[in-house]
Amino acid sequence: MQGVWHLGPFPIRGYALCILAGIGVALWLTRRRWVARGGEPTAIETIAWWAIPFGILGGRLYHLITDPELYFVPGRDPWNAFKIWDGGLGIWGAVALGGVGAWIGARRAGVSVVAFADAAAPGLAFAQAIGRWGNWFNNELYGRPTSLPWRLRIYQWDASAGHAVRNGAGHAIVKGYYHPTFLYECVWDIGVGCLVIWAGRRFDLSRGRTFALYVAAYTVGRAGVEALRIDHANHILGLRLNDWVSLLVFAGAITYLLVRRRGGTPTSGGGRTPRTAVSRDGQTIRSQ
């Protein structure tokens, strides 16, 4: 079992490949949905140039802020904070700061960031599903011990080398068998992506409501996964920090869905009255 391969002097990391594959799928699906709604495909590239690096930075910052003791206490190496390939990208930070990047990119492209978020929602869910397999390559983020048929074999791990520790006979040392929580979340994320696509065809989910549905649905599954995980996490009142964040984000998403259902169509652009291109569902896409 290993998560790193070497092409000459260059390390090829399974975690990074999963993240890149997820980004690729998200961009492909978002572009298809955007064009189908009447948007210009070049806008997606413009937004992606801003959203992707902002999202990666935000995901890492969230991890560092919520688990600083892994890096910034005596006995820990603070330079490890820069080793993104070892894992540690928080979804909430990625979405939050990635949203800032998307807003900047949308402004530069002259399109509605709300319309972009709706187009991107299912692709983000599928990207998370693919990215979760990076945890398998890193031998991390598993749940409680279990004897279920789909249990996950976990090894004693040499994180610096990116592979399992081996005994004198050259065999990987097995630590135990655990719930594959990364797989549970992967399956849930696929379901969320399919739900968002179906609901968008069945109901009027314009004006940011598609994205809000994705967020609300994802947080429900994330709460279940967090209940099984046994990796390091800070707790508040007996709950893992990510559970509290999920509750707050879920409440915000549901509130947005209810408010937008009764509200009017949002404007795009910095407060001016633009000429617009409108998609089939009546959502503003482009401002001029």
SS3 of the chain: the string is CECEEEECCEEEEHHHHHHHHHHHHHHHHHHHHHHHCCCCCHHHHHHHHHHHHHHHHHHHHHHHHHCHHHCCCCCCCHHHHHCHHHCCCCHHHHHHHHHHHHHHHHHHHCECHHHHHHHHHHHHHHHHHHHCHHHHHCCCCCECECCCCCCEEEECEECCCCEECECCCCCECEEEEECCHHHHHHHHHHHHHHHHHHHHHHCCCCCCHHHHHHHHHHHHHHHHHHHHECCCCCEECCEEHHHHHHHHHHHHHHHHHHHHHHCCCCCCCCCCCCCEEECCCCCEEEEC
* 130 in any annotated domain: yes
User: Alpha-carbon torsion 9, 12, 16, 22, what sign?
Assistant: positive
- Is the residue at 166 inside a domain? no
Please tell me the predicted confidence (pLDDT) of residue 271. 36
In a domain, 279, yes or no: yes
Tell whether 154 is covered by a domain. no
**pLDDT confidence of residue 233:** 80
In the chain, the amino acid numbered 285 is: I
Q: Please answer whether residues 115 and 284 qualify as being in contact, where contact means their C-beta atoms are separated by less than 8 angstroms.
A: yes
CA proximity to 152, closest of 135, 170, 166, 128: 135
On whether residue 247 sits in a domain, the answer given is: yes
Q: Which domain holds residue 282?
A: 4-141+181-228+240-287
Token output for 224: 């279940």
Q: How many domains does the chain have?
A: 1
263 CB neighbour count, 10 Å cutoff: 11
Residue 243: the pLDDT is 86
Decide: 105 and 30 in contact? Cβ < 8 Å. no
Q: Which two tokens stand for residue 85?
A: 């390939």
Report CA Rg, the chain. Answer: 20
pLDDT of residue 266: 41
Residue 113 falls inside a structural domain: yes
49 domain-assigned: yes
Question: Residue 147 falls within a domain, yes or no?
Answer: no
Nearest-angstrom CA–CA distance, 86 and 47: 27
Cα distances (Å, whole numbers) of residue 149 to 30, 89, 138, 187, 207? 36, 29, 22, 17, 44
> Which residues in the chain show pLDDT less than 50?
264-276, 278-282, 287-288
Q: Are 189 and 96 in contact (CB under 8 A)?
A: no
Nearest CA among 270, 130, 272, 279 for reference residue 205: 279
